Structure 1
Amino acid sequence: MKHVIALDVGGTGMKAALLAQDGSVLFEARRPTGREHGTDAVVTAIPLSDLRASGLGGNRRSPDSGGHHRRASAGGSRQGRQGPPPARPPAARWRSGRRCGVPRRCHPLSSQQFLCCDIRVTDTQFPRLKHGSAAWLAARDSMVEIIKGWATDGRPDTYGRLSEELRDAGYSVPPRGTLMSNLLEAACRVEAARDVPVMLTAIVVNKQSKRPSEQFEVLAKTEPFRRGDQPDWTWETEQKRVFAHYR
């Protein structure tokens, strides 16, 4: 039998649930996130063993939340049943909440519904990257050096890989979101201020499309780049110029 695991890891608390294909909630739990103990402790606190046991036919209730085996739907009467009210439809229940820069993981439930695990764990071991702060500027400079290294090697690479290398350098920057976009723009502009004639971030690409984001092409039309004024300019030609300049 196939199952769907739903996780919502927030700053103060986490929720987990295991659902059958028909939408029945087999297991659910709530517990403190414990982010003050670090990211490893947060991951350890996720009740994976309980979820697995429930999926193998073990306990169908949560010792943490008093959950009940029930159909995950918006309707239903509470008559003859104790505990919390019926769950909302999975798509509404797990997609709610604002985006925070961390990619969501979506799992198919049926042709009509899906669940999202909205992971929002704060990395307390990394400096806060407030725009314009010393740590933010240092992350920008580190990003410049990472991308220049790719350019020297003659290879483009992905936002995900850039996020990983920044993490290795001591900065937590999710591969998607405002923080990554702002730092990429700043990296491009700081090189332009050094009279570099190419847009360095042209070689940072999406894993699926193999091309830079739409924000890059918008940036290319602004000062001081003005690539929109150049006939036949494309992001591919800019990539070639980047490799030619740094190699």
Structure 2
Amino acid sequence: MTLARSVEVHEAASSMVRCVGLHHVFGAGATERVVLHSVDIDIAAGEYVSIVGPSGSGKTTMLRCLAGLLAPSAGEVRIGGRVVAGSTPENLAVVFQDYSRSLLPWLSITSNVTLPLRGKGVPKEERLRRAQEALTAVGLARSHRQYPWQLSGGMQQRVAIARALAYRPQVLLMDEPFASVDAQTRADLEDLVLSLRKQYDMTVVSVTHDIDEAIYMSDRVIVLGGSPATIMRAIDVELGADRDQITTKADPRFAELRGQVLREVRH
């Protein structure tokens, strides 16, 4: 094995999420539109990475490729060292923006949380145990018999997060998870996800338009831009492991990072 190949194998093995030459095209011929061009990403186990960029820059397309929901036109995606091909990996869960569509209104909260586990073949007793544990983790232990339409928007999104946790993922992908809730609920959900990330030792990749959210929650912010989109810059967020909505966002370093990311997005 050559030295270069040895390094490549080591990097692939030590990465939890890895894209190499990710390229995606919609349409063909006269309607062809290249959305992503030669995107390389390496995300370590336990890292929280946010992907930001202008509207239409391919953020959600990238996330769907990571999730196995969309096959890239070229390049490779690996989750936990295994190539993603044709289906969502077993060690990965996704939280979507539109909780009203991702939850089934005719099922109870517990049934919504356990639904993916049924498809996975998890025994009923274990499904119920995981659901109760996940609902307790998101503060909804007493709501297990209710239905989604009986809960507020923020509580419904907590159910969606609980469903992902019950799946026991190593990697959690989130697509604008807080975009449909009010500012106070958004702050509460941000802190909830940060605490759950530690509790469940997950790697998190989140797409967001909210730069403050990206900086507050992340170890690193990746900026997509251009047409077709590629990585403009990856910015390390060195604000410590413990974040607080008031003190962290009042830190001068937070304002400096916001300016850096905003300049890149508007470039």
Give the TM-score range, shorter chain: under 0.3
* TM-score for the superposition, normalised by structure 2: 0.21
Higher share in strand: 2
Higher share in helix: 2
> Relative contact order (alpha carbons < 8 A, sep ≥ 6): 1 or 2 greater?
2
Structure 1 or 2, whichever has the larger Rg, is: 1
* TM-score for the superposition, normalised by structure 1: 0.23
